[in-house]
Chain A
């Protein structure tokens, strides 16, 4: 019997951006890799993302951003997780990020950022290496 914990991931679209092609594909990819994925849908405020992450007890939040508001939205999620003592949850970003913004995001606590063209297998491998179900 499977005695191991399953990895649980929240895939979320914060902000007003409605481009969800990537988010929906990554959700399927994570499922096919054996993870349990809670998909939040569009137009989530950072507060809603964090509340869902806590209720669902996820190990990682994948935030999808393609409309340029990442410098506010992604760090804000990290900030709120800290406020709620839930900053053991790994936060990643996926989507469109100018190179010079990536170090800023990492400094703010985003563990990794996946830009366009990253093969799905690479993303899954990263998750397997860096995200362990709460232990």
Chain B
């Protein structure tokens, strides 16, 4: 892209400038011994055309909507439609969360996103002894289809899309959603949304797991197949890097492990006999937006380019939509502090801005009190306004991929792609992600990165404002959301009522049918939907999964 003579001139000038720089620093040293990103990647004092001297614009960067999609997956991006403002929400009972959903929609969010409580996430009903003390504390409690019906009451699910963050029990909760929609007369072919349904990252990072990797992959492939054939507007996997990053990985690891997970899912679906262009367009991704502004933007751009290349060259996909890496972003929860919580508004804003400049399809912004409890209405509203101000006031969405062409950003994008592909090769050599997980490889990498980062904070090599620098003596108190302590009892009572009212013979038959189906090879989604329609509870179904598929226990990699 640059001609040879100009580059030579730049090289000469840079040499002189670096000498000048050095002279200055002899008088007054640089303010840090080492400049690095939050992932500890060293950053130079200046980036010039020399850093991207062989940049091939048409091949490497191209235009939005054009292979390899570095600048964006759709041609119009935010000029056509802003990213979806999708705030993750869930608390207490289905009714409590339904209220929060209505509030957020009224305040202008454009998509729904559901957080479930630990028992629901782990496949236990509220009345399980393992669930004691956990009901509704970190998300909404769902025991049966009845709760699902209340959760989405009054919301236009035929017009807006719903994301559900659920993994081991994804097939079950999705079945409940489909059943709930159909009961409202809404055809499954028009409902749109996402289930996270990414078990590989559970084994690596988030650790809400239930059954071992192989049967988990079977269930996931069943959902992909079912979605391809019956629920075409649904994203059946949200291949996630967010949690990998939250567990302490570097940006490159987040990128590499996420795409490696994606490769594993594609392999599994192809093995099932599905046609790549039939299911690939509905694979979606979920990334973290962390503290280092430019590293994150480069990561998002590299991700798009890498996935396009992987889908085209490795998997020979033909349909252009199979090459698109569409992603949701959440700002980094692990970067927020309990000290001086109002600072978190600024952190979230910067992280949201990075996600927008990185071209995300949808965005959740964390609330300032996220470190302390489930967000209050006020805090969640500020988080939503953050997105709205970026969208309407800042002007960054006026043009597509505004940072494209920056020497620094293009160089970072390239570096991240290169380093991430190295990781992917390592994982391929191990036999793929499932094998790598069994060897505890990604888990160990993450544990090491997390420990290293903590040591850097404790030694003040890396600064956390309000925690290891600029500490305030008095803390401004923040009001924190409380979950009704009586909720657990109420929920148990309520679910018992549901159990009494339903036809228990039909439930028994459905569960038996499910048990047999699990032993066979048929797609389980139809029979799961039938079972939830009888108001079987989540655990009645997961007990069967655990029985047939086995239980996965934490191998305790530290």
Do A and B contact each other directly (Cβ–Cβ < 8 Å)?
Answer: yes
* Interface residues in chain A, defined as those with a beta carbon under 8 Å from any beta carbon in chain B: 15-21, 24-25, 27-28, 39-43, 45, 67-73, 76, 96, 98-100, 115-117, 119-121
Chain B facing A: main interface SS: loop
What residues of chain A lie closer than 8 Å to B119, measured between beta carbons? 16
Q: Is B388 an interface residue (CB 8 A)?
A: no
Q: Is B134 an interface residue (CB 8 A)?
A: yes
What is the minimal beta-carbon distance from B133 to any residue of chain A, in angstroms?
3
Select one of B207, B248, B338, B374 contacting A18, CB under 8 A.
B207
Q: Can you list 30 pairs linking A and B with CB atoms under 8 Å apart? A: A15-B118, A15-B130, A15-B134, A16-B118, A16-B121, A18-B206, A18-B207, A24-B447, A24-B557, A24-B558, A25-B450, A27-B558, A39-B556, A40-B556, A42-B554, A45-B129, A45-B130, A67-B137, A68-B483, A69-B132, A69-B133, A69-B134, A70-B133, A72-B133, A98-B373, A99-B372, A99-B480, A116-B338, A117-B338, A119-B468
Interface pair B338/A42, CB less than 8 Å apart: no
What is the minimal beta-carbon distance from B243 to any residue of chain A, in angstroms?
9
What residues of chain B lie closer than 8 Å to A71, measured between beta carbons? 133, 485
Interface pair B207/A20, CB less than 8 Å apart: yes
- Compute how far the CA of A70 lies from the CA of B246 in the bound complex, rounded to whole angstroms: 21
Interface pair A21/B248, CB less than 8 Å apart: yes
A25 and B338 in contact, given A15-B134, A17-B118, A96-B372 (Cβ under 8 angstroms): no
What is the minimal beta-carbon distance from A101 to any residue of chain B, in angstroms?
9
Interface pair A39/B467, CB less than 8 Å apart: no
| Nearest neighbor of A73 in chain B, beta-carbon distance | B133
B 445-489 contacts with A by CB, 8 A? 447, 450-451, 454, 458, 464, 466-468, 477, 480, 483, 485
What residues of chain A lie closer than 8 Å to B122, measured between beta carbons? 16, 43
Select one of A16, A20, A28, A99 contacting B134, CB under 8 A.
A16
What is the minimal beta-carbon distance from A120 to any residue of chain B, in angstroms?
5
What residues of chain A lie closer than 8 Å to B278, measured between beta carbons? none
Interface pair A16/B480, CB less than 8 Å apart: no
What residues of chain B lie closer than 8 Å to A72, measured between beta carbons? 132-134
Interface pair A98/B131, CB less than 8 Å apart: no
What is the minimal beta-carbon distance from A48 to any residue of chain B, in angstroms?
11
| Nearest neighbor of B481 in chain A, beta-carbon distance | A98
What residues of chain B lie closer than 8 Å to A73, measured between beta carbons? 132-133
What is the minimal beta-carbon distance from A78 to any residue of chain B, in angstroms?
14
- Residues of B in contact (CB 8 Å), total 48
The 8 A CB mask of B368-400 against A (1 = contact, 0 = none) is 000111100000000000000000000000000
Interface pair B118/A41, CB less than 8 Å apart: no
| Nearest neighbor of A119 in chain B, beta-carbon distance | B458
What is the minimal beta-carbon distance from B519 to any residue of chain A, in angstroms?
26
What residues of chain A lie closer than 8 Å to B554, measured between beta carbons? 41-43
| Nearest neighbor of B131 in chain A, beta-carbon distance | A16
What residues of chain A lie closer than 8 Å to B338, measured between beta carbons? 96, 115-117
What residues of chain A lie closer than 8 Å to B466, measured between beta carbons? 117
A100 and B451 in contact, given A16-B122, A18-B208 (Cβ under 8 angstroms): no
A25 and B451 in contact, given A41-B556, A116-B338 (Cβ under 8 angstroms): yes
Given contacts A69-B118, A99-B372, 16 further A-B contacts (CB under 8 A): A16-B119, A16-B134, A16-B208, A18-B207, A21-B246, A21-B247, A24-B558, A25-B248, A25-B451, A39-B558, A41-B555, A42-B207, A69-B133, A72-B134, A120-B454, A120-B458
Q: Is B286 an interface residue (CB 8 A)?
A: no
- Compute how far the CA of A38 lies from the CA of B313 in the bound complex, rounded to whole angstroms: 47
- Compute how far the CA of A68 lies from the CA of B488 in the bound complex, rounded to whole angstroms: 13
What residues of chain A lie closer than 8 Å to B74, measured between beta carbons? none
Q: Is B138 an interface residue (CB 8 A)?
A: yes
What residues of chain A lie closer than 8 Å to B477, measured between beta carbons? 99
What residues of chain B lie closer than 8 Å to A76, measured between beta carbons? 132-133
What residues of chain B lie closer than 8 Å to A16, measured between beta carbons? 118-119, 121-122, 124, 130-131, 134, 208
Q: Is B337 an interface residue (CB 8 A)?
A: yes
- Compute how far the CA of A92 lies from the CA of B463 in the bound complex, rounded to whole angstroms: 27
- Compute how far the CA of A39 lies from the CA of B554 in the bound complex, rounded to whole angstroms: 11
